[in-house]
A = this chain, B = another copy of it.
Amino acid sequence: MRNRAEVPTEVFRKLPAEKRERIISTAVEEFAEHGFHQASINRLVKRLGIAKGSIFQYFTSKEGLFQAVFDHCVDQARKPLREIKHHPEGMGFFDKIRATLEAGIRFVRAHPQAYKLYLKMIFQENFPYREKLLSRLHLFSADYLEDLIRQGIEKGEIRKDINVPTAVFFLDALLDRFIQAYVVAFWDASSVIHQAKDEDLKKHIEEFVKLIRSGLEAKTNEHTC
């Protein structure tokens, strides 16, 4: 956070926007493909067709480059997050869940590399700025879902006897995993979500929300009525 303005050097900031973008987006690809340590500056500069020394004139170090890449991705993610948070008040709880899923899919479609980078960071413990990323994301996902659930309870859409933290975890797991399955093939055991077309995706979102809403159990209402 501190010195963030210094991380891409002044030299880099003076570069034509076009070149700046090309460098950042190529670097995103490199990190998303290989993780932090396996990512290679040599390979990057070869892909870019510039000299290695230039990279270190633009960014103080590999870590500095990564920080710039990371900040770039966070910026990309900001808009959709706000968009989701400010859903119209009239929407019901399960509509909001559906909208969240749709916005998530929209994001990973628009920025697949950024999302891949996020996935890489999750399980590669020695990534720099891991803590920073995770705290930022927690701020979003957990708090957002808890708000949603409490509102849903107040409005009578959700059972009152529910354990809120468990429900937060429940939803977080499902939403996150749904998005992951769209991007990473093998998370999707039954191969229905991964890279699905719009129509099929809508159906699966519908089915999915239905499960979140009512669970798996067969209704026994007939017996009681």
Contact = CB atoms under 8 A, between A and B. Distances in A.
Contacts of A122: 123
Interface of A: 33-35, 37-38, 93-94, 119-120, 122-126, 134, 138, 141-142, 145, 149, 152, 156-160, 162-163, 165-174, 176-178, 181, 186-190, 192-193, 204, 207-208, 211-219, 221, 224-225
A108 to B, nearest CB: 15
A168 B193 CA distance: 12
Contacts of A225: 221, 224-225
Chain copies in the assembled complex: 2
Contact of A37 (B38, B159, B178, B208): B38
A193 B38 CA distance: 32
A152 B216 contact: yes
A169 B186 contact: no
A121 B91 CA distance: 40
A214 B211 contact: no
Given A124-B35, A126-B38, A215 B215 contact: yes
Nearest to A217: B213
B159 A219 contact: yes
Nearest to A37: B38
Contacts of A193: 169
Contacts of A142: 189-190
B192 A169 contact: yes
Contacts of A192: 165-166, 169
B189 A172 contact: yes
Contacts of A186: 134, 138
Contacts of A159: 214, 216-219
